Each structure stands twice: as structure tokens, then as C-alpha cells.
Structure 1
Amino acid sequence: MKNTRNLYSLSAIGCATLFATSAYAETYLVKTIADYEHVAKQLVAGDEVVLANGRWENFEIVLRGQGTKDEPITLRAQTKGKVLITGQSNLRMAGEYLVVKGLVFTQGYTPSPEVISFRINQQQLANNSRVTETVIDEFSNPDRFESDYWVALYGKNNRFDHNYLAGKRNRGVTLAVRLDSEESRENNHLIDHNYFGYRPVFGSNGGETLRVGTSHFSMFDSLTTIDSNYFENCDGEVEIISIKSGKNRITNNVFDRSKGTLTLRHGNGNQVESNVFFGHGVEHTGGIRIINQDQVVKNNYLEGLTGYRFGAGFTVMNGVPNSPVNRYMPVKNAQIENNTFVDLDFIEIGAGADAERSQAPSDSTFANNFIYNQSAKNLVTVHSDASGIEFINNPAVNVTSRAVPLNNMAKDKVTVKRADNGLIYPQKLSDVGVERQLQVLNKADVGPSWYGKKSAFTKFDSGKVVQVKAGENTLFDAIAAAKDGDILELSAGNYPSPKIIFLDKTITVKAKKGADVTILPMRSTFLEIQNNGSLKMIGVTIAGDAAPDYKGNTIFRTLKSGMYKNFRLVLDQMVVRDLDINGFYNIFDAGYRSLADTVSITNSEFKNITGDVLRLNKETDDLGVFNADHVVLLNNTFSNIQGTLVRLYRGGRDESTFGPHLNMQNNQVINVGTGKNNKGGLALELLGVQEMHIKNNQFKQSASVQLVTQVGEPKVSIENNQLVGTAKFDISVTPSK
């Protein structure tokens, strides 16, 4: 039968071509947004819309139609990976049996709450539909605290598979399954074979990679399957996967160097089976956290995880009696069986126990698990009554803890071997740990085969070496011409700098071996780190001899606002001197909502400075936000600093992040913090820092050090510091609520 629909043809318009025909289905090649919108109004089962190769900017795609199982309505790229959706663009879909594949969302962000939404509005949802081989790469809102989802699944029986999602930097879940209507519950969605790439440390709540449900709807069942996905460097917050609904299956996934845990946060009757966690010793890498009732956790392999407390390698939480839905339901009837734990730093039982979370786990079993450590350690920490968990046949090698009844065994009594699948097994204990035939997902088998999996950021020193001669603005010109990762090697001499350097790439600036190099800033700021910018500087002197007579000068700063990409500032073997032309001359000043992965000063000398060295204290709204994740001060001398050495602030009681961290060792702190204009009168001002290692430093004739901890269970190590003419450290701990 001839198709009599009013169809585009080559004679109708030149931009949309009738690509192929059959009795009832049509295939359209469209080349403009207007032509797509015209075609999209008349799609029927079996139709296929092909977006022409090229860049589609500010394209809000609406795909609506009633396909069938055998004849879906398809939207695809002409060539996979060659259709770029840019600018303020998104995709919304509703109807039955819709398929989208081969698109790339990049160089922009969504103008709506989602990049890809399986609904058009609250009344029009997608069912039995699929998004496959599609990319969302660095498609982040430039306002880091403006929230959106990259993918939101609504409706029922939808599939999201073989996609690539990496580089989400703004607040909001990367992929969310929504249960906010009856039509989206018990949905039987399948999320499989996707690559979830780097999610940088967000520095606040709202950085989950995948979430199923919310606390408000968590007593409903979702019946979502999350199978055979690869999570690499997903570091947004403590929950990589946040399960907030019931009867979901999380199976056969790999978590590689990802900070945080698979968290059964709300909802009952979930199954976590045959997942593999490789921490490789990376800090804060975690495994599985159990909360609520009837959770089944079996046949999972966890190795090299360093996390602790809520982010530990394995955690069973304490609960709140008669808990409201948004807090912590007690653990009951958890089945923890045939898992393998290799070289974990912590297994936490009854974690979070306090006056509120006072109900211990009950009616649960911990059976046939295998625990192995290369060296003896006390890795099992019990925070409350563990008698509600029955421990059965759990061989534990090199575990010194007797806090729970494990079958402790000497290392020489058990032989282990790493099998062909990359996992460690005990040779003569066949009934414990993960099954021998467990298949470990290969990263090459997930995501679109045609799209490369990129690293989180450009590595320092990964480009070419560029020689720079001394002179006015030569460094400015060299940085402007440099490529990402380049090393600028400075010849001996002076480098007057009358222009502010705006850095939007990863650059190393270093003195040529044996060369005496002096940079002379001549503006209120020497260098501003912008989005995509990171700086490493080695062996250079920065002097204030030509600095302008302004109050509030800085050597380095970020954008004052609008930073949505994390950065790094690394200073080594530096001399920074005589920044005293006027008051408040600071070394580094972080802007509001900026976040440094690392600020590091090593083997350097700072002297005669009227302001602060590190100002990392702009996030005073007490939401758990902070300006630097890691602050490192090693083997330096700081003398005659009128301001404060480090101001590092993290207010509020949010427990979803790991930082900030301070590592301060082997420094000389001489006459620091004593200036008459130093607000607070402190040499160090630290509030809410989660990990502090202050060791082997000498404080001479300096102001006091103030440390205030106020959330979670901070790690505080203060050892062997010599105080000469300096007050005793002021340390206060406010218990977590």
C-alpha cells in the first residue's frame, strides 16, 4: 500500500531529503532545526529521522511518537559521533518505543532541568524507549551551583545503554531515576554498559553520579536494574550510586579509582551482586554502604579501598529508631554473603552511631565472606552493638581485630592467588568469597565504541618544552602562545610583568637549571587562574620591587566568581619576597565558589609579606562548601608574614564530602600572623577541615593557631610541633549532629 502521508521530499524543500521509503515507514535526513521540527510533527511507527553531520547549536530536541516494539521511531546521527549538539540544547522524549542513538552533547549546557529527559512534561512520559551510543561530555552549566541532571529516566521499561557521560562539574546527579509519579514507579528500567567517566570533587552535597529515587518517594519500589556499567574517577561526593527506593538490582558493575561508595541510602529489598571495586590505594575510595531493611549484598569483590567512616570499603550503618523517611532507617535482615575484601583500610560496623543514630543492625547475617590483608591490621571497627549480625564462616587473614567473631587465620596458613580474571582467591577455601567464574567487566566493552575515554584533566609536563628569554612581557607572551601541558623554561634574568596573565590552560613555569629568575609583578594581580587553568611554578623568585602601591594586591587569584572547573596551583623551590609596598598584599586569593583540587607549596621561602599567604575562606554560607580540597605545605620557611598563613573554611554540617585536607609538615613559621591589620590575629585559621596533619613544624614568635572541627569524625594528627614565643594551639571539637 502506498504511503499517503504529507511527507518531505527533495522537491518540497532542499534541506530535508527523503532518504529511503517503505510501505509505511520513512527515513528523513534533516539539515536544519526548522526542518527537524517540521518532520517531528508527523512521525509514525517505523520512521527514522537522521540528523546531518555537523554542529547543531541551541537545539532543544523534542521527540514524540507512538512506535511499536518491532517498528520503533528512531532519531539518530548520520554518522555516529559526527553530530555535535552544542550551546543551550537538550533532548526530551515522550511516547512509546522511541530510540535515540549516536549524538554528542558537548560545548554547552542544558537550558532546562535535564540534558536528556524521558518525558516532555509531567503528563507526557516515555515508555519502552531507549537512548544508546550517545555522549554527554563536559556539558556543564557554568554556574557550578546551578543544579541539573544530565539524564532523567521517567516512565516505564526504558533502557539507557552504551553511552558516555563524563565531566559533570555543576550540582546535580549525573543520571537520576525519578519516582515522582505512579507512572514512573516499578519501572523496570535497564541502565547498562555505560561509561561513567570522571566526576570531579564537587566540594558539597549534590555530586552523585547515579541516583534511583529520592528520600520522599523511597518507600516505593523502582525495580531498576543497573548492570555492567564502568565507573571511573567518579569523585563528586561520598555517594557514587545513591539508591533511594526499593527492589533494585545493582549487578556486574566495575568501580575504578572512584571516591565514595555504592550506598543503599533509602528503600528496602535491594540486591547488590557481582560488582567489582578497585581502589588502587587512591584516597577515599570506598565500596558498599548498607542502610534499611532486606538488603542482599553478595558475591562482590572489593580491593585496595582506603575510605573510612561513611566512605569506607564496607559499611553497615546504625539507624534512627522510628526514623523519618529522610534520615537513617535501621539495618534489618541484611544478607552479606560470599564477598571478598582485599586490603581494605576499614570495615565499619554500626557506623554513624550517636545519640540520634542509636539503633544497631539486627536480624542480619555476615556469612562466607573472605577477608585478606597483605599485612596485619585492625581493619574492623565496631561503633555500636554488633550482636544483631550473625557472623558465620568468615576466614580473615592478617586481621588482628577481635571486635567481631571472624575466623582469624595466619597468613602462612592460607595461600592466595590472583586468577585470570584479575581477582584474588584463597586456594583451599572454595566455599568463601566471590565465585571463581566471576567475569570482570572490561572498560572497552562499555560506552560507544567510537568515542575515546578521556582523563579527568591535563597532566602537568605533558606537552613540549618552550624556551623563554628574560624581558618585559615575555612570560605573558609565552603563556598566551603555549599549549595545554607545555613547560615554559625561563632563562636567567628579570621578567617585569605589566600585564595580568589570564591562565586558561595547564602550564608549568620553571627556571632553567642553575638560572637566577626573578618575576616582577607590576599590576594588582600577577596571574589569574580561569576555567581550564592550572599552574605549576618551580625554582622562580617573585619579588615586590615593582609592585603598585595598592592595598589588597595578590600574586595569584582565581576568577572572582564563575569558576566551574577545578584547578591546581603547585609552587616548588620558590622564593617570594618583599610584598610590602602597602597593606594586605596576599599570595593567593580564591574566588567565591572556586575549588582547587590541590594548592601545594613545597621547599620554598616566603618573607616580608603584609597580607595572607593562602586565602581559602570565601564559602561562609555554611553549606559544607569549601575552596580547596587539598592544601599541602611541606619543608618551607615563612617569615615576617603580617597576615595569616592559611585561612581555610568549611562551614555547616553536611556529611557528603571528604575535604578539605591539610598536610603541613617540616615548616619554619617565624613571626607570622602578628600584623596589626590581621583580622582574627591568627597564624592559622582552620574551620571544618576534615583531615589535618600538622607535624614537625616550628612556630617562633607567631600568632596562635586555631582549629575548629564541627562535622563527622575528622582525622586530626598534631604531633611534634615546637612552639617558641607562640601560644598553645586553640583546638575545639563540636560534635556532629
Structure 2
Amino acid sequence: MQRRTFLTGTVLGAAALASVPALSAGASAATVTVGSLADLQTKINEAKAGDRIVLADGTYTVPSDNPITISGKAGTADAPITIVAQTRGGAVLQGAKSFVLGNSSNITISGFAFRQSTTLEIPANCTGIRLTRNDFRFADVSGLDWVVVRGDNTKIDRNHFHDKTTEGIFVVVDGPGSTAMAQKPHIFKNYFSDHSYAGDNGGEPIRLGVSSRALSSANGVVEYNLFERCNGDPEAVSVKSSGNTIRYNTLRNNRGGIVLRHGNQSTVEANHLLDGTDGVRLYGNDHTVVNNYFGGLSGRALVIGSGTTRDHHSGETTEERRGNDACDRAVIVHNTFVGNARPVSGEERTYAPQDAVVADNLLVGSTGTLVDMKETSGFHWQGNILWGTAANGSIPSGGYRRVDPLLRQESDGVSRLSAGSPAIDAATLGTLILAEDIDGHPRGSARDVGADEYSAQAPLRRPLTVSDVGPNAS
């Protein structure tokens, strides 16, 4: 696939820039264009809610001892203070640092090309910060995490993070102190590409939490992002906190997958995982995995993980917390697996996964084994459909039937149900409330097996492409 370079993107006129929301009665806002870092700093210092400061195109070297400082500035939710490049990617910020934020709220930073050599941090004393339509390609420094979020209500959207060959993470969400999480981070419509670090840890595009924060809920949402050639880690989205939602993303040609590595009560919904190595791995308790499509993965599509401990708890040592928490009470329903090397598999550790519901999934394969679980306890299998010359494996006889689901592969590479498929209206799990399928079509009261609900209508959601994400996305 041809890669776009956003530095030569469309020039923005005033009409192309997102309009500033209306201010409350009696307020005023200003738009001003500046051509130097000194003038930019002056206008930031003077800025009020609703103001827009435009930095003229050019390459700016930010002094390490004099970064662009945003301190004690407050926009509002409806009228943020916006600092924007004249054209998307046209204002290039190089040097050790760019923006340094502190004690500020409702600030939007948009359209810059970041080329710095140290971390861009959103500290815990900042709320409502938004990074949008930027191009991130920091210096290729080993161990450098590019964007670290500790403040609540942060939005990171329509950016391109790309080209790293060394250890380090594109986006880290942490929080204040050592155990809390930043609340309600929203990461959406970004393009993550070309991370080629060859190590086994520390090269994720997104890490949502860390071991010490695993039991804290972040209520984060990671959605509508595209990941391509993200090979710096076996985890493209690494979740190490609780209460998060990972949905509507496309992972294509990556080594890494979506991994609920630590934490509880997260949802993995309606993602496309295509032509890479790994898919989804689960550890921790009470997760939901629903409506996902796994296609052409050469490694393990879905792993229901075992543990070195039954459950993580607040009294653990640091070393104990790093261990794997066995996957308990997962609900794994309405997923489709087509042409994967190992569709559903387990692991062998001291504590087996237990009490999972694995129902109404569709598994099709021509080689290997469709279900290769190791020791489990209290699993409930029902309503699954298996097909192809691959062996059934360890799925119990009452948990599936073998029947041709009559799949048809469409132009986007996804195999969907044909009219007359025995999967139509054949779902059996009555306790699940599910409004839509992976395509955005309504499920109705009689649901189909797998991620796709048969429809003659065109999908409302398809696998994402580069035109759907990044600085020029709608």
C-alpha cells in the first residue's frame, strides 16, 4: 500500500479549518497569525477562551531551554484555546521539545509536524487537552515514548504516528501517582504505521496503563484507528488498566494485536484484524469480546490466557503484578475467524482460565486445529459453527455444529454470509444484548452466528484505509 506523506498535504484556508464553536454571551474571541516562536509565545500568554493562534508555515527549531509554554491557560469545552499550523503539516517543530503544558484546560493543538527528541507530555494538572491532525515522527531515540498522557479527558485524534525503529511507544496513557489512571482518554481516527523495533516489549503503538495501574479504571475509548506494519511489539494495543473499550479499529499486516494484558472489565468490539501475526489475547476478569473479524493471521488469532496468579490484588509486589492474571468469566460471542493459523487457543500456566462463555462464533479453516485450548475450568460452549478441513480440536461436542456457512468474500477482503446460510438466525445465547454487527447493521431479535448479520445493504463500517484516518480524515 502506498503511504501518504502528510507534510505535503492540502493547504488549509480559513474555510477548511474547523470553525470555533460559538462563545457564550458577552465573550469575544480572536484569530491571529504569527510568524515566529517569540510571537507565538506572546499570543499564547495573552490567549482567552475561544482564541485561535495560527503559526505560519516554516521549520522552527525550539530551544531546549525555552520551549513553547502553555501554563495557566483555560479555554472552555465549547470554546477551547486553539493553536494551529497554517497548513496541516506545514509548521515543523524540531529540537528537543515543542509544547510544554501545565495547569491548563481545554487546549487544542492542531496541524503541526512534530520532530522533537523528547516526550510530549500532557500532565495530570491539565484537562481537556486535544492533539488533532498532527504528524508525529520524533527523533528515533531508543526508549523514547512520544506522547504520554496523565491528564483527564484527553483527545488524540486524526494524527499520523509513524517511522520508529527503536524501543519506545507512540502513545502512553498513565495517570497521576503510581496507581491511578487518567480518566476518559479518547484515541480515535489516528494512523499508526511503520514501527520496526525488533524487541519483545516496549514498542507498542498504544499502551493504556501499566502493571501498577492495572486495577484502576480509565474508562478509555480507542476507536476507528488504523494500524499498519506495527511490528515493534507483539501488542499493538496494550491494555494494562480496567474498564476500557477497544472498538472499530483495523489492524492490518502487523506483528502486534490487541492484548488485554492487565486489568478487568474491558470490551473488544467490532475490530478487523487482518493479515498479520497475532489477534487478541485476554488476561484478567469479566472481559467482553464481540463482533470481531479475524482473517489471515499467521499466529494466534484469539488466546484465552492462563495465569501465574488467579487474580491481581492491591497487596501484590511489583514482580507479582507483572505476572499474567488468568482469564476468568470472559464473554466471547459473535466473532468470525477465517483462514487463521490458530483461531482459538490457550496456554499452559499454573492457573487455567475459567468460567468463560464461548458462543455463536464462526470458525473456518483449512489447516491445523480450530480450537486448541489447554486446561480450562467451567467453560460454556454453545452455538458455534465450525467448517473447513481444519480439525475441530478441543471444543466439546455439544458446543458446535459442522455446517458450511456459505461465506462470500467481498471486495474489502472480508468474508460475509450469503443468503441461505445456516448461520442466519441461528444464534443461541439469549442473555446477550447486542444492537449491531461488525458492519453496523442491526442485529434484531434473531441474531446470526458470527460477526456479520446477513444483510442485502452495504456495510456501514468496513475495514479502514488510509483515507479514513490521519490528518486529512473527515
TM-score band w.r.t. shorter chain: 0.7 to 0.9
Give the aligned partner of residue 100 of structure 1.
109
**Contact 1:273–1:299 (8 Å) recurs in 2:** yes
Q: Compute the displacement of 1:31 (Å).
A: 1.9
What is the match of residue 315 of structure 1?
A: 303
In 1, the alpha carbon distance for the partners of 2:369 and 2:256 equals 21
Q: State the structure with bigger RCO (CA 8 A, min sep 6), 1 or 2.
A: 2
1:509-562 C-alpha deviation (Å, 9 max, x unpaired):
xxxxxxxxxxxxxxxxxxxxxxxxxxxxxxxxxxxxxxxxxxxxxxxxxxxxxx
Match of 2:373 in 1: 382
Superposition TM-score, scaled by structure 1 size: 0.52
1:57 touches 1:85 (CA, 8 Å); kept in 2?
yes
Q: Return the match for 1:35 from 28, 36, 39.
A: 39
Structure 1 residue 110: Cα displacement: 2.2
CA contact (8 A) 1:62 1:91 kept: yes
Amino acid at match of 2:380: E
Task: Please report how far the alpha carbon of residue 450 of structure 1 lies from its aligned counterpart in structure 2 after TM superposition.
Answer: 8.3
Q: 1:321 to 1:291 in 2, by over 3 A?
A: same
Q: Secondary structure at the match of 2:131?
A: strand
Do the aligned partners of residues 24 and 183 (structure 1) sit closer, same or farther apart at CA in structure 2, a change above 3 Å counting?
farther
* CA shift in 2, pair 1:415/1:117, >3 Å: same
Question: Is residue 449 of structure 2 the alignment partner of residue 446 of structure 1?
Answer: no
Tell me how far 1:295 sits from its aligned partner. Answer: 0.6
Gaps of 5+ in 1: 1-21, 452-737
- CA deviation after TM superposition for structure 1 residue 438, in Å: 6.2
Separation in 1 of the partners of 2:378 and 2:473? 50
Q: TM-score, normalised by structure 2?
A: 0.80
* Kept in 1: contact 2:181–2:213 (CA 8 A): no
Rounded Cα–Cα distance in structure 2 between residues aligned with 1:250 and 1:272 = 5
Choose from 247, 272, 290 the match for 2:243: 247
Tell me how far 1:294 sits from its aligned partner: 0.4
Contact 1:80 1:102 in 2 (8 A): yes
Which contiguous aligned blocks of 4+ residues in structure 1 show a shift greater than 6 angstroms? none
Report matched runs for 1:317-356 at 5 Å. 317-322=305-310, 324-351=320-347, 353=348
Displacement of 1:421 in angstroms is 5.5
Separation in 2, partners of 1:442, 1:232: 11
How much has 1:198 moved relative to structure 2? 1.1
- Residues 155-209 of structure 1: CA deviation (Å, up to 9, x unaligned): 2112110110001223221101112349963611111000011111332421111
Give me the whole-angstrom Cα distance separating, in 1, the residues matched to 2:258 and 2:174. 18
Preserved CA contact (<8 Å) 1:421 1:438: no
Task: Tell me the SS of whatever aligns to 2:164.
Answer: coil
Partner of 1:159: 155
Residue 153 (structure 2) pairs with residue 136 (structure 1): no
User: What is the alpha-carbon distance in structure 1 between the residues aligned to residue 473 and residue 186 of structure 2?
Assistant: 22
1:433 counterpart residue number: 450
State the superposition RMSD in angstroms: 2.3
Structure 2: any 5+ residue segments left out of the alignment? 1-25, 313-319, 425-447, 454-458
1:233 positional shift: 0.6
| Deviation by residue 1:54-84 (Cα, 9 ceiling, x = unmatched) | 0011353222311112221110011222111
Q: What is the letter of the counterpart of residue 132 of structure 2?
A: T
1:316–1:331 contact (8 Å) kept in structure 2? yes
Determine if contact 1:154/1:184 at 8 Å carries over to the other structure. no
Alpha-carbon distance, 1:391 to partner: 1.0
1:300 to 272, 292, 301: 292
Give the secondary-structure state (helix, strand or coil) at the position aligned to 2:239.
Answer: strand
The CA distance in 2 between the partners of 1:395 and 1:361, in whole Å, is: 22
For residue 327 of structure 2, what is the amino acid of its counterpart? V
Q: Percent identity?
A: 28
Q: Secondary structure at the match of 1:315?
A: strand
Bigger strand fraction: 1
Asked if the contact 1:156–1:184 (Cα under 8 Å) also holds between the matched residues in 2, the reply is no
Pick closer, same or farther for the CA change 1:204–1:183 going to 2, 3 Å: closer
2:68 aligned with 1:61: yes
> What are the Cα deviations for residues 300-345 of structure 1, in whole angstroms up to 9, with x where unaligned?
00100001xxxx1111111123553221111111000000000110
Provide the rounded CA distance (Å) in 1 between the counterparts of 2:126 and 2:74: 10
Please name the residue that 1:369 is paired with.
361
Query: Aligned partners of 1:53 and 1:82: how far apart in 2?
Result: 5
Mark the CA change 1:402 to 1:38 in structure 2 (over 3 Å): closer, same or farther.
Answer: closer
C-alpha contact (below 8 Å) 2:54/2:83 kept by paired residues: yes
Q: Which structure has the larger Rg over C-alpha atoms?
A: 1
Provide the rounded CA distance (Å) in 2 between the counterparts of 1:151 and 1:236.
16
Contact kept? 1:274, 1:438, Cα under 8 Å: no
1:74 aligns with 2:82: yes
Per-residue deviation, 1:27: 2.7
Aligned residue in 2 for 1:521: none
Does the 8 A contact of 1:242 with 1:263 survive in 2? yes
Partner of 1:44, secondary structure, is: coil
Q: Distance in 2 between matches of 1:414 and 1:277?
A: 20
Aligned 1:81-92 pairs, distance under 5 A: 81-92=89-100
Q: 1:228·1:441 contact (CA, 8 Å) conserved in 2? A: no
Matched with 1:265 is 261
1:33 positional shift: 2.0
Give yes or no for contact 1:155–1:184 (8 Å, CA) kept in 2.
no
Residue type of the partner of 1:45? A
Provide the C-alpha distance between the structure 2 equivalents of 1:403 and 1:96, rounded to a whole number of angstroms: 53
Q: CA–CA distance in 1 between the matches of 2:386 and 2:179?
A: 47
Conservation of the 8 A alpha-carbon contact between 1:140 and 1:170:
no
Matches within 5 A, 1:709-724: none
Pairing partner for 1:407 from 400, 404, 421: 400
Corresponding residue pairs, total: 401
SS of residue paired to 2:230: coil
